[in-house]
């Protein structure tokens, strides 16, 4: 599988003209596995949402080469999901097949079998008819990973995939992430646990609204870089001047 690259050319993303990500340039290389880390409010989730087009680019450009937008799979933070919606697990997982069968076609036969197999692959055999509102946080995350399995995408974007879930679920889902990487897919994950990043992620982008470091994880996550990221984040004030480019 030849994975595409994601390239940023002097990208600024702003809320109310104040930059959430400030003049970022660089590339997630084809087939790479990269963590995005940084202090709270550093622009990590904002950057992921800009790649999928959910947030407008104020300045610069994001290039996703040689790929249909439907071939990008996105896993949102659980806090963004309405788990009170009356939906069964199998229905949510089956959404991963829309790219292949279309949103209006009935999921049955071979496609239904694939959805059941995806659930079994993430450790949720016989969960098909459970209401999503009855699931634990870890079970819900397994369901979302099963949906991504069915999407079979070349780019996978994960926003805090291991936050507030148990260690067994984290370990199982990390195996899936490493499998996707081994298949040559481009995988980008927003993460907070630096131990997981150092152990599992070959590459890291350290953000503090501006890029602090980007490259091999051992080189990016030095004590000096982490201190600089914290200082840059603490220096960002609500009354700071607007970004001149974003204000133009």
Q: pLDDT averaged over the chain? A: 89
Helix (H, G, I), strand (E, B) or coil at 121: helix
CA distance linking residue 36 with residue 197, whole number of Å? 9
Q: What is the pLDDT of residue 68?
A: 84
Q: How far is CA 221 from CA 20, 52, 164, 179, 204, in A?
A: 21, 26, 23, 24, 8
Q: For position 70, what pLDDT does the model report?
A: 82
> How is residue 129 written in tokens?
């008819």
Instruction: Give phi and psi for 63, each to the nearest 5.
Output: -110, 125
Average pLDDT over residues 117-136: 96
Rounded Cα distance between 10 and 59, Å, is 7
Nearest-angstrom CA–CA distance, 89 and 198: 33
DSSP E strands, 79-225: 155-159, 186-190, 203-208, 210-216
For the chain, what percent of residues have pLDDT higher than 70?
Answer: 88
Question: What mean pLDDT is predicted for residues 138-149?
Answer: 97
**Confidence class for position 245, pLDDT limits 50, 70, 90:** very low
Question: What is the pLDDT confidence band of residue 103, given thresholds at 50, 70 and 90?
Answer: low
pLDDT beyond 70 at 238: no
Question: Are the C-beta atoms of 236 and 67 separated by less than 8 Å?
Answer: no
CA–CA separation, 13 vs 194, rounded Å? 25
- 109 pLDDT band (50/70/90 cuts)? low
- Check if the beta carbon of residue 7 is closer than 8 Å to that of residue 240: no
pTM to 2 decimals?
Answer: 0.90
User: Alpha-carbon distance 165 to 138, whole Å?
Assistant: 5
Q: Which two tokens stand for residue 71?
A: 């071939």
pLDDT for the residue 82? 86
């Amino acid at each position: 599988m030849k994975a595409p690259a994601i390239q940023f050319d002097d990208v600024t993303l702003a809320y109310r003209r104040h930059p959430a990500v400030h003049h970022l340039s660089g590339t997630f290389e084809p087939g790479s596995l990269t963590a995005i880390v940084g202090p709270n409010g550093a622009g990590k989730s904002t950057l992921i949402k800009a790649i999928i087009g959910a947030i407008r680019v104020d300045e610069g450009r994001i290039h996703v080469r040689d790929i249909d937008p439907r071939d990008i799979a996105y896993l949102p933070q659980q806090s963004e999901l309405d788990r009170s919606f009356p939906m069964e697990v199998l229905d949510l997982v089956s959404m991963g097949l829309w790219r292949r069968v279309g949103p209006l076609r009935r999921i049955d036969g071979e496609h239904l079998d694939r959805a059941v197999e995806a659930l079994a692959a993430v450790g949720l055999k016989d969960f098909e008819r459970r209401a999503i509102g009855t699931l634990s946080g870890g079970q819900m995350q397994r369901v979302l990973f099963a949906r991504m399995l069915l999407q079979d995408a070349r780019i996978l974007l994960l926003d805090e995939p291991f936050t507030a879930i148990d260690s067994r679920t984290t370990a199982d889902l990390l195996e899936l992430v490493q499998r996707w990487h081994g298949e040559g897919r481009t995988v980008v994950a927003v993460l907070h646990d630096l131990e997981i990043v150092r152990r599992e992620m070959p590459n890291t982008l350290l953000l503090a609204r501006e890029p602090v470091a980007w490259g091999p994880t051992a080189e990016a996550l030095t004590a000096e870089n982490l201190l600089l990221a914290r200082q840059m984040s603490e220096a960002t004030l609500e009354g700071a001047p607007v970004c001149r480019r974003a204000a133009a």
